[in-house]
Amino acid sequence: MQWYIVSRSLHGQARYIGPFSEAVLLRALKSGRLPPGTKLVREDGQQFHVKPPAAKEPSLMRGVVSVVALAAGTAVALSVANKVHEFLTSTPEQRSIRRSARRHARRGAVVLADHVGWDAVPPITGGRRADVIALYRNRVVIEEHETKASARRTHSRDQDRELREWSARNGARYRQVIAD
């Protein structure tokens, strides 16, 4: 059987394009080359209207991937928001402590950090509490973070001296970090 495509002229008159074999029309339908709403007529008078493709049922995997992508995007957005909040609500000294603590943690140390909401706070050593203590397998690093202005204060100079002496007596490395 032969099929014809029925189209309408600008004046509303029916025009028949064809004939086409059934196999050709089936391939055109499957590939989506016939636009939705196209009318087909067979030689015996049977009519067929091309329907828009049915929406595919979303697979469970596609739903899971979408949720994971949404969660990942949300996590990234929250991470960025947290970093911006940390930066805006912290002092240069706190930012310096946070950077140092993260650096030591990335290098494999157990880190104790003060003033930055770190999980573990350093113990009092030499009568003072250091800002960062990094415990590596074969060494201990003690850091005191100050700004240029605070490093000149008597309290900071005394703390620096006492932590330096305690570190020398106990085999730890000490350094004073001047925050940007």
* pLDDT per position as a tens digit, 81-98: 566 656 555 788 988 998
pLDDT of residue 12: 67
pLDDT range class, residue 75, cuts 50, 70, 90: low
- Report d(CA 39, CA 99) in Å as an integer: 69
pLDDT of residue 49: 74
Residue 60's alpha-carbon distances to 1, 63, 66, in angstroms, are 42, 5, 10
Share of the chain above pLDDT 70, in %: 67
Query: Mean pLDDT of all residues in the chain?
Result: 77
| Residues 135-151, mean pLDDT to the nearest whole number | 92
Copy the structure tokens of residue 8. 């309408």
Do residues 43 and 2 lie in contact, with contact meaning Cβ atoms separated by under 8 Å? yes
| Residues 24-41, mean pLDDT to the nearest whole number | 72
| Residues 44-61, mean pLDDT to the nearest whole number | 64
Burial (CB count <10 Å: 0-12, 13-18, 19+), residue 163: buried
- Report d(CA 111, CA 59) in Å as an integer: 45
Per the rule left: phi > 0, alpha: psi between -120 and 50, beta: everything else, 32 is: left
The alpha carbon of residue 157 and the mean position of all alpha carbons in its chain are separated, in whole angstroms, by 42
Domains and CATH numbers, the chain: 2-49 (no CATH), 88-178 (3.40.1350)
